Amino acid sequence: MKIVAAHLPAYLPGLELFCKMAQADAVILADHLQYSKHGVLNRNRIKTPEGARWLTVPVLTKGRGRQAIHAVEINNNERWALTHWRALQTHYNKSPYFMHYADRFEGLYHTEWRRLIELNVAGIRTLCACLKLDTPIHLSSECGAVTGNKNWLVELIKRIGGTAYLASPGQRAHAVRENDFSAAGITLIDTNPPMPRYHQLYGEFIPDLSMVDLLFNEGGHYLGELRKKNDARGFAGRIANTDFPSS
């Protein structure tokens, strides 16, 4: 069984993506979908003494109409990279693991990125290296997905040899049509990645931050402990023979 997961290519994503990657044999980043100004495609949150703070990558959207995620360009006239790097240094330099990983992120912010997808994929790969994850990453735009094709996910899973799909509760509710997967012979595996409380600086715990917060505070080994508790193949064995209703 080859398990595939899918996710939006967010900027410095949170824990959910990496839990999926720890459980899957491949991940599809859906960069062919339409870019939205809201959400975490060009921003994410870190923790500061004043609470959660957004780090936002400025992008060029004015006069460009509807854009696919992979087409969005960064506005490098603004000195966002230096601002983000200094924010990480300022707010995490006293965390237990910041210095262990600092060089990797410094390199990320000393590169001039033209497109948002290039930056986001580089950020995800940087986090994967820190977490010792080597799950193959596929961009939907490079796998032939086109906007408007409602069956793109099933087609891409089959194209990369997948036989099972790791579906989070949100995807089950909004993006996954069970009959399409069943007809294609793809097993749906329910997953609900844990969102544990972990050690943070600056007082009361704040959930749903960028993965950098967990990494700098707990280290790359932390995900391995979660992986032991959330082996997707254990769930797969229980539902592999499930037939979804046709209506």
Q: Would you state the pLDDT for residue 238? A: 30
pLDDT tops 70 at residue 50 = yes
Which of the pair, 225 or 22, is modelled with greater confidence? 22
Do the domain assignments include residue 245? no
Do the domain assignments include residue 173? yes
SS3 244: coil
Contact between 105 and 126 (Cβ < 8 Å): yes
- When pLDDT is cut at 50, 70 and 90, the band that residue 64 belongs to is confident
Do the domain assignments include residue 188? yes
For the chain, strand residue ranges (E) read 3-7, 26-29, 43-48, 51-56, 59-60, 73-74, 137-139, 164-167, 187-190
Do the domain assignments include residue 114? yes
SS3 115: strand
Contacts of 197 (CB under 8 A, 6+ apart): 205, 207
Contacts of 177 (CB under 8 A, 6+ apart): 150
Q: What is the mean pLDDT of residues 85-89?
A: 98
* Range with lowest mean pLDDT among 135-144, 192-201, 218-227: 218-227
Do the domain assignments include residue 86? yes
Contact between 50 and 60 (Cβ < 8 Å): no
Contact between 232 and 190 (Cβ < 8 Å): no
Q: Would you state the pLDDT for residue 51? A: 97
- When pLDDT is cut at 50, 70 and 90, the band that residue 192 belongs to is confident
Q: Would you state the pLDDT for residue 21? A: 93
Q: Would you state the pLDDT for residue 228? A: 62
SS3 20: helix
Q: What is the mean pLDDT of residues 61-69?
A: 91
Mean residue pLDDT across the chain: 88
- When pLDDT is cut at 50, 70 and 90, the band that residue 229 belongs to is low
Global model pTM greater than 0.75: yes
pLDDT tens digits, 15-33: 999 999 999 999 999 999 9
Number of domains in the chain: 1
What is the residue range of 151's domain? 3-239
CA of residue 149 relative to chain centroid, distance: 22
Do the domain assignments include residue 190? yes
pLDDT tops 50 at residue 168 = yes
Do the domain assignments include residue 246? no
Contact between 100 and 219 (Cβ < 8 Å): yes
Do the domain assignments include residue 20? yes
State the Cα–Cα distance between residues 121 and 41, nearest whole angstrom: 11
Q: Would you state the pLDDT for residue 140? A: 96
